[in-house]
Amino acid sequence: MIKNIRRSKSARIAHIIDNGVDKVVPGLSVSPTQMALMAAKGIPISAQMSESFVDGVSNPSFDIPIEDQRGIDVNAVWNAQKDARKRLIAAHKADKEAYD
């Protein structure tokens, strides 16, 4: 199959998938040579870098799920699941009493 692809002049080798993931922003890094040239021209490097800095997420969430937190044991996740289940059942019962 690879031989057939190489022989074909109209074969598509790479194909780009747009799955909604943010693409890499070009020009965010500066090489040491570029830093030296900028310093020679009198351009402050830190100020130039701060304008082009992109963290990737404009509104980050600070709520990290318990299973993604550091230092959490499997038992702690299991206990959190059981507590959440108890709270949901209690809320459902309270809603049934209040609205039925």
Per-residue 3-state assignment (H helix, E strand, C coil) for 78-89: HHHHHHHHHHHH
Whether 80 maps to a domain, the answer reads yes
At 80, is the pLDDT very low, low, confident or very high (cuts 50, 70, 90)?
Answer: very high
Q: What is the pLDDT of residues 19-71, one digit of tens each?
A: 777 777 777 777 888 888 888 888 777 755 555 555 566 676 778 888 888 88
Whether 29 maps to a domain, the answer reads no
pTM (predicted TM-score): 0.39
Q: What is the pLDDT of residues 19-29, one digit of tens each?
A: 777 777 777 77
Whether 97 maps to a domain, the answer reads yes
Confidence at residue 83, expressed as pLDDT on a 0 to 100 scale: 96
Whether 2 maps to a domain, the answer reads no
Query: Per the structure, how many domains does the chain have?
Result: 1
Residues sharing a CB contact under 8 Å with residue 35, sequence separation 6 or more, in sequence order: 45
CB 28 within 8 A of CB 53: yes
Note down the domain range covering 82: 69-100
